[in-house]
Every structure is written in C-alpha cells, then in structure tokens.
Amino acid sequence: MDKKNSRYRWVVFTTVLFTYFVIVTQRTAPGLISDQLMKDFNVTASTIGLLTSIQFLAYASLQIPIGVLSDRFGPNLFLIVGAVLNGIGTVIYSLAPNEFVLLIARLMVGMGDATIWVNLVLILSQWFKVKEFVGLLGMAGMTGSLGFLMSTYPFSAWITLSGWRVPFFTVGIILCLCGVILYYVLVKKPKQLIKSDPLANKPSGKIKEKREKTFVLLRRVFSDRQAWATFLCHFGLVGTYVGFIGSWAVPYGMHVYGMTRSNASQLIMIGLVGALIGAPLTSWITTRFESVKRPYVIAHVFVLLSWGAFLLFNGKPPFFLLIILFLIIGYGNGASSLTFVVVRKSFAMKEVGVVSGFANTGGFLSAVLLPSIFGKILDHFHTAPSTVGYQYGFIIPVTFSLLGLIGGILINEQRQEAKQKGE
C-alpha cells in the first residue's frame, strides 16, 4: 500500500485530529473549576497552581525523550498509549477523593499529552506528501484552537448543569475509546491492507540503514542552527500566548480596565479567534508564495509589535486597540504550526520526531517561565497603581517574542529547498 497516495490516509487524518481535539480540551478545562476544587478539597491557591504546573512540566520535560523514542520505534504506539494514559488520568481526576490523587491524575494527563503533538507530526509526515503536509498541519493547529475554545464556555456550561465530575469522567472515557480506535486505524487496518496488496510483499531493494546512536543524534540536533531556529520560533510565539492567556489575561482585564471576570474572559476568546484564523491562513500563504520563512518572519514581527504596543501605552492601550492586539497575538499562536513545516522540510524522517520535540520544548518552556516571572514583577509593584506592574511585566513577552523573531530570521530556507530536491 502506498500510504501517501491511498484514500485511507484521510481516515488516519480524521481519527488523529479528533483525538488531538479532545485532548486539547483537557489542557485548560481544569482552570474552570479552580474555585470549586479549593472548596471541595479545602486546598490553597498554591496547591491549585501546582496541579497546573505539574501537567505542563511533565509535558515540556518529555518532549525530547518522546521525540527520540518515536523516531526509533514509530509514532503509532506512543500516540495510542498517550491517548489512553490521558483518558485514564482524566477519569481518575473525576473520581479523586483528595488532592494527592488529583496531583497524580494531572501528572498522568501531562505525560499522555506529551506524546500527542510530536507523534501527530510524524504520522502526518508518513501518510502525506510535503505539499499536503503544510496545509494539513494548519488544519491541525486550527483543531487545537477549537479544542481550547470548547474548553471555555461550552465545557463551563456543561459543568454548571451537571457538576464538574461528570464532564471530566465522560471525556476520560471518550479518550480511552479514542485509544482503541487509534489502534484499529493505525495498526490493525494498515496491516490488513498491506497483506491484501500484491505489491507490498515484493522486495523493495532498499538497504536497512544502521541506526544512529541517541547521544550522537542529540548532539547533532543541539548544535544545529535550523533546530535552534525552530526552538526560538516556538519559544517566542507559543509561550507568550499560552503563558499570558492562561495566567494573567483575565486578571489584567479586571485590574487595569475594571472589567468583570466574565467580560475579561472574552479577551481569551478573542485570542482563540485569532489562533483559529492564524493556522489555516498562514499555511495557505506559505503554499501560495512557496515560502515558509517570509510569512513566518512577518508573523513574528506583528506579534513583537503587538506586545510592544502594551509598553508604548504604559500597559493600558485604548480598548479598541486592545481587541486588535489580542487578535494578532492569537494569530501568531496559530501561525506557530509553521515551526513544524520547517522541521518536516529541513530534516530527514528519522530526525523529525526528536527535532519536533526539541522545538515544542521551546514553546512550553516559555509558557512555564512567563507566568512566574510576570507574577514576580506584579508582586514587586503591588503597592503601585495596577497599570505599573503590568507595564513592566510586558517587558517579558516583548523579550520572548524578540527571541522568536531571531529564530525566524535564522531559518535557512535554502536548506529546505535542497532537501525537497533530494527527496
């Protein structure tokens, strides 16, 4: 069976994307019930913060190991195990009798989540041609944004109707079922198709390549300019968006603009709308102009200018401009899917997993660093007017997005073109 020309590849695409959609809803959904958990389990806000950080720390720390293992043993197994682990963790979370079980459950969810994106990139690389891959990765990015969107008002309404345990239990069961379906779609069915294909049993004439030692591979990746370019790109776009939106966006709207919690949460929705637009639009622009670097650098420039606008207006831009800024910052997060287009076009298939993991580590390292550094700045200026703390706090996303722009400039597009010709 020729994977990249078969109709079956669309079944693979749909199944993998649906699983990714459900998993993404569980990255931020627990934030909807923080106050309820504090009440039900009689825990402090710092404990709730630990529940969040343990999930993302597990995610970030496992990206490179998962990339190495996926390159060695294939992405199918890890995607299946990740979906099931995520599902079991979510079910345990919904049944937790105390905060210790909650912590273990979120750790399991973070470990399961860590396997998803890297292996999604690898699976799409195996089943689709490079030109198809660019547009489909944009759709994958849009699917992730839809997952975040689902975890806001729709999931909140469900929790209001039935309490928090039922929705999390249901989603956990769905994820376990996704793992079973993925096994059939990625492992069992392709084996049947290969057996029924008369051309599949013919010798290919290819000589099996000797596997490179892991240490040698990692050393080469860590010294590669193109790999660091993707790391910095993700660091600048993803971390600034996820880090600020997930921690300080709502307090910012409440403290600086006097908005209610409900109205301030609309800022997150605006960012999500930008992300929904950013992923498919930048993929289309990339395909239309046959260039990844130029549209990606432009996206980085706009995001840097947007964060800079917060500094320019002393932390409080006019409200109409605020809406535009959140839209552009969200757009940049959607455009970050181009990071993995660069990876796919610049590295051999045996290296795509580890480099994708390395790049993804950049984004979530930034997402872990920004909230804590931003918070320390706010604490330092806690006696000053609210705009002062945020004004200085915005130096952090400006700095991070500047690093992202440097990453975009460092991308070597000639290297991508040379690899494509070689293929």
Q: Which of 68, 411, 397 is nearest to 231 (CA)?
A: 411
Q: Are 286 and 299 in contact (CB under 8 A)?
A: no
Q: What is the pLDDT of residue 43?
A: 78
Biggest CA–CA distance in the chain, Å, is 76
Tell me which amino acid residue 71 is.
D
CATH topology of domain 1-194: Growth Hormone; Chain: A; (1.20.1250)
Secondary structure class of 408 (helix, strand, coil): helix
- Specify the DSSP class assigned to residue 188: I
Which regions of the chain are under pLDDT 50?
204-207
* Cβ contact 260:365 at 8 Å: no
* Residue partners of 158: CB distance under 8 A and separation at least 6: 167
Nearest to 146 by CA among 334, 282, 6: 334
**Contact yes or no for 135/281 (Cβ under 8 A):** no
Q: Is 300 exposed, middle or buried (0-12, 13-18, 19+ CB in 10 A)?
A: buried
Asked whether this chain's domains 1-194 and 214-423 adopt the same fold, the reply is yes
Question: What is the structure's pLDDT at 105?
Answer: 93
* Beta carbons of 353 and 71 less than 8 angstroms apart: yes
Tell me, what's the pLDDT at 207? 47
Q: Look up residue 128 and give its DSSP letter.
A: S
Quick check: 361 and 58 in contact, CB under 8 A?
no
Instruction: Please give the CATH number for the structural domain made up of 214-423.
Output: 1.20.1250.20
Dihedral sign of CA atoms 291, 305, 56, 181 in order: negative
pLDDT at 321: 95
| Residue 208 CA to its chain's centroid (Å) | 34
What integer pLDDT is reported at residue 210 of this predicted model? Answer: 59
Residue 229 Cα to chain centre, angstroms = 17
Place of tokens 């627990």: 30
Domain chopping of the chain, boundaries: 1-194, 214-423
Distance CA(290)–CA(237), nearest Å, equals 22
**C-alpha dist (Å) from residue 244 to 238, 240, 316, 372:** 10, 6, 15, 10
Three-state SS string over 18-64 comes to HHHHHHHHHHHHHHHHHHHHHHHHCCCHHHHHHHHHHHHHHHHHHHH
CA 339-248-237 angle, to 5 degrees, is: 10
| 102: amino acid identity, one letter | L
Report the distance separating Cα 68 and Cα 212, nearest Å: 11
